[in-house]
């Protein structure tokens, strides 16, 4: 009796287990994530669009999904290094007279020595960051078309808002394509019409890319929020105008055809949009200096910032890098609202000499104690003067929320740049503006720089192109414009302007013109056989 029962039970339990197993378990191979969400779930809810848009902006400010680090967007590179603003700052400033860096990180010295190759990890990191940003924008733009929204039943205010988000995503994509065009010349190209993972991007000629960005920026003009009417740190019409005016100013470099009249048109649109220079100094800061402090979000002259915050937007890139790295030698970190320096970035004597009188011109603030003017050794942080500009203290002198991760925003576009663009375009023969206005704008900047004194003002005859380049250095240094400016003035590679260690020698030397664009990284040449390397690499 007992045996029969046991046997029966054994057979039964085996059969039962088998049955349940065979029927349900192959289906168990379709597992869904617990913490992540699939794409269709994300876009079904209108509230999520804003979070995806926030990521596109954060693509400029952060390195990943954990602040300050931990879930990086990019791999194969140190997460802190992979940040957009940090990369962009480095690639625009380190190869120029404005900045040198002490660190021996693989390939970093190549920037100032101008001996980079297609295997340079920093160039690759910049390239990958730009490509990542464009791909993320493409994905959002693809998923937020009117057809898709109505297909998901999203209408009314929600749909109107998402339409604005989509225009901003297109602006951010245009911005990154502008960087790509400026840095890499003929980069690969893809739009929202190319599906993830299933196509081979073509290489777009620089001039064609120029037209594409131009058409994009003009196409979104109506959908973007009016200048100064959007939430802080989000792009508006003026951001698009400013980007257009910068493109037109450099159009000859990109396409061979000058567009100075357009540069005047669009810089004027920006200037007339209601921005004003910050003209009030405080006991702890000059009026000019307030644009680079922890409360620079209140500045009336910032057109498009990349926002950082000591509590909510933390990373090792952006202003965390710019401020930390710039604290060298005996510079007192506390005076910068920071808990220490990273002993990295200084400037060359060539840049220092752009300031005839650093006492009068409030923009020329250098740290000299224990620093040498001339640089014997690039990797020695006490060689070269420190630059005192970005700080994590407010205009009343209070330190930012966090001594490691500053609240200071990075001013990507500032009114001064529009003024100087206008002046330069007029000088270069653009129409629609006039020389008198150009001089007024320049002197407005100089008056502020000299502490509301006209002592530094210049005459019409002094307003030359060379003066403009120097003035751009004085006004916009360490804001990520220098390399583009030097190229436009044909001084980046030539012997017409030498700075210490240009081309890898202490006294400076001319280098090959092919260095005006960076190489396409070898990793992408391998991945995409349709790409052709830029000349000379």
Partner 1 sequence: MKHTYLAKLLFLLLFVCAGFTSAFAQTGAVSGRVLDEKSQGVPGATVLIEGTTLGSSTNADGTYLIQNVPAGAQTLVTSFVGYNAKRQPVTVTAGQTTALPDISLAENTTLLSEAVVVGYGTQRRQDVTGSIATVSEKQFVQGQVINPEQLIQGKVAGVQITSGGGAPGSASQIRIRGGSSLNANNDPLIVIDGVPVDNSENKGVSNPLTLVNPNDIETFTVLKDASATAIYGSRASNGVILITTKKGLSGEKLRVTLNSQASISEKTKTIKVLSADEYRSVVNSYGNASQKALLGTSNTNWQEEIFRKAYTFDNNLSLIGSVGKLPIRASVGNTSQQGILLTNKLVRNTGSISINPMLLDNHLRIDINAKGSWVDNTFADAGAIGNAARFDPTQPIFTGDDARFGGYYEWLNGDRTLNVNGTRNPLAQLNQKRDRSTAKRAIGNIQFDYKFHFLPELRANLNLGYDLLRSNGTTAVPAFAAIEFSNRGANNIYSQKKDNKLLDFYLEYAKQVGEHRFTVLGGYSYQDFIRDQPLDSYQASADGTIIKAAFPFKTQNTLVSFFGRTTYNFKDRYSLTATLRNDGSSRFPTGNKFGLFPAVGLAWRVKEESFLKNTNLLSDLKLRVGYGVTGQQDIEGAAGNYPFLARYTYGEASASYQFGNEYVMTLRSEGYNTGLKWEETTTYNAGLDYGFLDGRISGAIDVYVRRTDDLLAKVAPQALTNLTNEIITNIGSLENKGIEFSLNTNPVRTNDLNLNLNFNATYNENKITSLGNTLPDFQGYAVGGIGGGVGSNIQVNSVGYTANSFYVQKQVYDANGRPIEGLYADLNGDGKSTIDDRYRYKSPVPKVTLGFGSNATYKKIDLAFTMRANLGNYVYNNINSQQAALSGISTNGFLQNLTPDFYNTNFRGYQLFSDYYVENASFLRMDNITVGYNLRTFAENKSNIRVTAAVQNVFTITKYSGLDPEISSGIDNNFYPRPRTFTLGLNLGF
Site for partner 1 in 184-203 (CB under 8 A): 187-190, 194, 196-201
Residue of the chain from 75, 193, 459, 461 that contacts partner 1 (CB under 8 A):
75
Q: Supply the minimum distance, in Å, between the C-beta of residue 204 and partner 1.
A: 11
Longest dimension (CA), the chain: 118
Q: Which of residues 208-237 bind partner 1 (CB under 8 A)?
A: 231-234
Q: Supply the minimum distance, in Å, between the C-beta of residue 268 and partner 1.
A: 27
Nearer to partner 1, 30 or 147 (CB): 30
Nearer to partner 1, 154 or 264 (CB): 154
Residues 176 and 179: their CA atoms lie apart, in Å, by 5
Residue of the chain from 8, 12, 44, 117 that contacts partner 1 (CB under 8 A):
117
Residue of the chain from 284, 373, 403, 427 that contacts partner 1 (CB under 8 A):
403
Q: How many CB atoms lie within 10 A of CB 535?
A: 12
Residue of the chain from 46, 95, 121, 473 that contacts partner 1 (CB under 8 A):
121
Binding of partner 1 at residue 372 (CB under 8 A)?
Answer: no
Nearer to partner 1, 118 or 158 (CB): 118
Residue with tokens 């990520």: 480
Binding of partner 1 at residue 374 (CB under 8 A)?
Answer: no
Nearer to partner 1, 325 or 439 (CB): 325
Q: Which of residues 13-52 bind partner 1 (CB under 8 A)?
A: 13-14, 17-18, 20-22, 24-26, 28-39, 42, 48, 50-52
Residues 292 and 337: their CA atoms lie apart, in Å, by 12
Query: Are residues 179 and 88 in contact, defined by beta-carbon separation less than 8 angstroms?
Result: yes
Reduced to 3 states (helix: H, G, I; strand: E, B; else coil), residue 207 is helix
Nearer to partner 1, 26 or 276 (CB): 26
Closest C-alpha among 110, 111, 126, 99 to residue 477:
99
Q: Supply the minimum distance, in Å, between the C-beta of residue 119 and partner 1.
A: 5
Burial annotation 430-462 (CB, 10 A radius, 16+ → b, else e) = beebeeebbbebbbbbbbbbbeeeeebbeeeee
Query: Are residues 325 and 101 in contact, defined by beta-carbon separation less than 8 angstroms?
Result: yes
Residues 508 and 518: their CA atoms lie apart, in Å, by 20
Phi-psi region of 300 (alpha: psi -120 to 50; beta: other; left: phi over 0): alpha
CA distances to 111, 392, 408 from 117, rounded to whole Å, are 10, 35, 33
Nearer to partner 1, 344 or 430 (CB): 344
Q: Which of residues 249-278 bind partner 1 (CB under 8 A)?
A: none
Question: How many residues does this entry show for the chain?
Answer: 537
Q: Supply the minimum distance, in Å, between the C-beta of residue 160 and partner 1.
A: 16
Residue of the chain from 84, 88, 111, 140 that contacts partner 1 (CB under 8 A):
140
Nearer to partner 1, 460 or 526 (CB): 526
Write the binding mask 305 to 344 for partner 1: x where contact by CB under 8 A, - elsewhere.
--x-x-xxxxx--------------x-xxx----xxxxx-
Q: Supply the minimum distance, in Å, between the C-beta of residue 309 and partner 1.
A: 6
Binding of partner 1 at residue 467 (CB under 8 A)?
Answer: no
Question: Using CB atoms within 10 A of its CB, is residue 372 exposed (0-12), middle (13-18) or buried (19+)?
Answer: middle
Q: Which of residues 416-445 bind partner 1 (CB under 8 A)?
A: none
Binding of partner 1 at residue 132 (CB under 8 A)?
Answer: yes
Region near partner 1 per CB under 8 A, out of 219-227, 357-365, 372-380, 492-500: 372-380
Write the binding mask 485 to 504 for partner 1: x where contact by CB under 8 A, - elsewhere.
--------------------
Structure tokens at 76: 């194969």
Q: Supply the minimum distance, in Å, between the C-beta of residue 234 and partner 1.
A: 6
Q: Supply the minimum distance, in Å, between the C-beta of residue 20 and partner 1.
A: 5
Nearer to partner 1, 103 or 212 (CB): 103
Paired strand residues for 304: 413
Paired strand residues for 302: 414
H helices within 185-289, ranges in order? 206-220, 237-249, 251-255, 260-271
Q: How many CA atoms lie within 13 A of 72 on its CB side?
A: 16
Q: Supply the minimum distance, in Å, between the C-beta of residue 345 and partner 1.
A: 13
Phi, psi of 171 (to 5 degrees): -65, -45
Phi, psi of 80 (to 5 degrees): -60, -40
Residues 441 and 422: their CA atoms lie apart, in Å, by 8
Write the binding mask 145 to 164 for partner 1: x where contact by CB under 8 A, - elsewhere.
--------------------
Binding of partner 1 at residue 512 (CB under 8 A)?
Answer: no
Phi-psi region of 199 (alpha: psi -120 to 50; beta: other; left: phi over 0): beta
> How many amino acids of this chain bind partner 1 (CB under 8 A)?
128
Closest C-alpha among 226, 320, 307 to residue 273:
226
Residue of the chain from 145, 358, 404, 440 that contacts partner 1 (CB under 8 A):
404
Region near partner 1 per CB under 8 A, out of 182-190, 210-218, 385-393, 426-434: 182-190
Structure tokens at 219: 């196409």
């Amino acid at each position: 009796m007992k045996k029969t029962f046991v046997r029966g039970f054994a057979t039964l339990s085996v059969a039962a287990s088998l049955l349940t197993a065979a029927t349900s378990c192959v289906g168990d191979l379709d597992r869904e994530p617990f913490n992540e969400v699939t794409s269709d779930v994300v876009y079904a809810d209108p509230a999520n669009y804003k979070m995806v848009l926030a990521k596109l902006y954060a693509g400029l400010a952060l390195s990943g999904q954990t602040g300050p680090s931990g879930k990086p967007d990019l791999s194969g590179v140190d997460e802190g290094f992979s940040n957009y603003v940090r990369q962009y700052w480095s690639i625009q400033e380190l190869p120029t007279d404005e900045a040198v860096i002490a660190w021996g990180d693989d390939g970093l010295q190549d920037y100032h020595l101008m001996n980079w190759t297609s295997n340079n990890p920093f160039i690759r990191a910049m390239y990958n960051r730009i490509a990542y940003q464009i791909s993320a924008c493409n994905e959002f733009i693809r998923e937020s078309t009117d057809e898709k929204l109505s297909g998901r039943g999203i209408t009314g205010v929600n749909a109107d808002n998402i339409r604005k988000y989509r225009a901003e995503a297109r602006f951010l994509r245009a911005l990154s394509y502008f960087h790509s065009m400026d840095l890499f010349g003929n980069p690969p190209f893809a739009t929202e019409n190319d599906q993830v993972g299933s196509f081979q991007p073509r290489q777009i000629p620089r001039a064609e890319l120029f037209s594409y960005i131009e058409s994009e920026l003009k196409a979104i003009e109506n959908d973007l929020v009016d200048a100064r009417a959007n939430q802080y740190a989000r792009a508006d019409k003026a951001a698009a105008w400013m980007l257009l005016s910068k493109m037109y100013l450099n159009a000859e470099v990109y396409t061979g055809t000058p567009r100075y009249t357009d540069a005047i048109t669009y810089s004027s649109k920006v200037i007339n949009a209601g921005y004003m220079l910050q003209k009030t100094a405080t006991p702890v800061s000059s009026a000019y200096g307030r644009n680079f402090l922890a409360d620079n979000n209140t500045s009336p002259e910032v057109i498009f910032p990349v926002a950082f915050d000591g509590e909510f937007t933390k990373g090792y890139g952006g202003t965390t890098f710019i401020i930390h790295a710039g604290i060298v030698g005996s510079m007192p970190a506390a005076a910068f609202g920071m808990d220490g320096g990273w002993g990295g970035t200084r400037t060359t004597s060539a840049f220092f000499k752009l300031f005839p009188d650093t006492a009068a011109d409030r923009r020329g603030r250098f740290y000299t104690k224990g620093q040498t003017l001339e640089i014997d050794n690039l990797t020695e942080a006490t060689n070269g003067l420190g630059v005192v500009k970005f700080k994590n203290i407010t205009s009343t002198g209070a330190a930012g929320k966090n001594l490691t991760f500053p609240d200071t925003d990075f001013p990507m576009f500032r009114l001064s740049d529009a003024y100087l663009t206008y002046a330069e375009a007029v000088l270069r023969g653009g129409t629609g503006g006039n020389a008198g206005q150009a001089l007024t704008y320049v002197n407005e900047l100089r008056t502020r720089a000299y502490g509301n004194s006209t002592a530094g003002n210049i005459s019409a005859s002094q307003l030359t192109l060379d003066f403009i380049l120097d003035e751009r250095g004085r006004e916009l240094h360490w804001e990520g414009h220098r390399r583009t400016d030097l190229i436009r003035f044909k001084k980046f590679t030539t012997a017409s302007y030498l700075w210490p260690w240009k081309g890898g020698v202490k006294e400076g030397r001319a280098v090959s013109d092919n260095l005006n664009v960076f190489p396409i990284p070898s990793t992408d040449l391998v991945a995409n056989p349709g790409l052709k390397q830029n000349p000379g690499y």
